[in-house]
């Protein structure tokens, strides 16, 4: 497999993979998220040989445990094709998101991580906060965050 290319894309170009990977049994509008069209929102696509294999979105949004934090970013809608998971593509996408947040003077990136993905986020420096919770129609999640100290690793 050749090296992946990660580039900024419009919100609409995230929705095919969001739906296929994250919400396959829900209607198409279930993958249109609040804030998708905000000017600060970043949508990234990961491509190999011109084919989209991953997406991730980053929103300027405070975490529920620190609503006054204006320097936090929320990771949402991160998806990598099922057959390509575990190959480092998600890590590359997440690092690009962390780098963007840091470049915008962000101090933290947080997400509601599916329980099945919690280990992935932990391996990239995220920590859990609070008890696991259920998102109706989606399943068990963990609130996770990573403080940014400059460079993303």
Give 118-147 pLDDT, tens digit per residue: 999 999 999 999 888 888 878 899 999 999
Q: Enter the tokens of residue 47.
A: 């491509």
Distance CA 120, CA 122 (A): 6
Give 19-28 pLDDT, tens digit per residue: 999 999 899 9
Q: What pLDDT sits at residue 135?
A: 84
With respect to residue 153, please indicate whether it lies within any of the assigned structural domains: no
Give residue 65's domain range: 5-147
pTM, two decimal places: 0.91
With respect to residue 79, please indicate whether it lies within any of the assigned structural domains: yes
With respect to residue 135, please indicate whether it lies within any of the assigned structural domains: yes
Closest CA to 126 of 96, 92, 152: 152
What is the number of structural domains in the chain? 1
* CATH code (residue 129): 3.40.630.30
With respect to residue 75, please indicate whether it lies within any of the assigned structural domains: yes
With respect to residue 152, please indicate whether it lies within any of the assigned structural domains: no
């Amino acid at each position: 497999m050749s090296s992946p290319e990660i580039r900024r894309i419009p919100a609409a170009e995230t929705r095919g993979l969001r739906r296929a990977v994250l919400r396959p049994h829900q209607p198409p509008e279930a993958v249109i998220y609040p804030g998708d069209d905000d000017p600060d929102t970043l949508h990234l696509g990961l491509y190999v040989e011109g084919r989209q294999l991953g997406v991730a979105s980053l929103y300027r949004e405070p975490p529920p445990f620190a609503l006054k934090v204006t320097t936090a970013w929320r990771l949402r809608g991160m998806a990598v094709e099922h057959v390509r998971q575990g190959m480092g593509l998600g890590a590359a996408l997440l690092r690009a998101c962390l780098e963007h947040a840091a470049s915008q003077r962000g101090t933290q990136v947080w997400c509601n991580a599916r329980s099945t993905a919690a280990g992935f986020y932990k391996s990239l420096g995220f920590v859990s906060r609070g008890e696991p919770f259920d998102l109706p129609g989606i399943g068990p999640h963990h609130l996770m965050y990573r403080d940014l100290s400059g460079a993303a690793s």
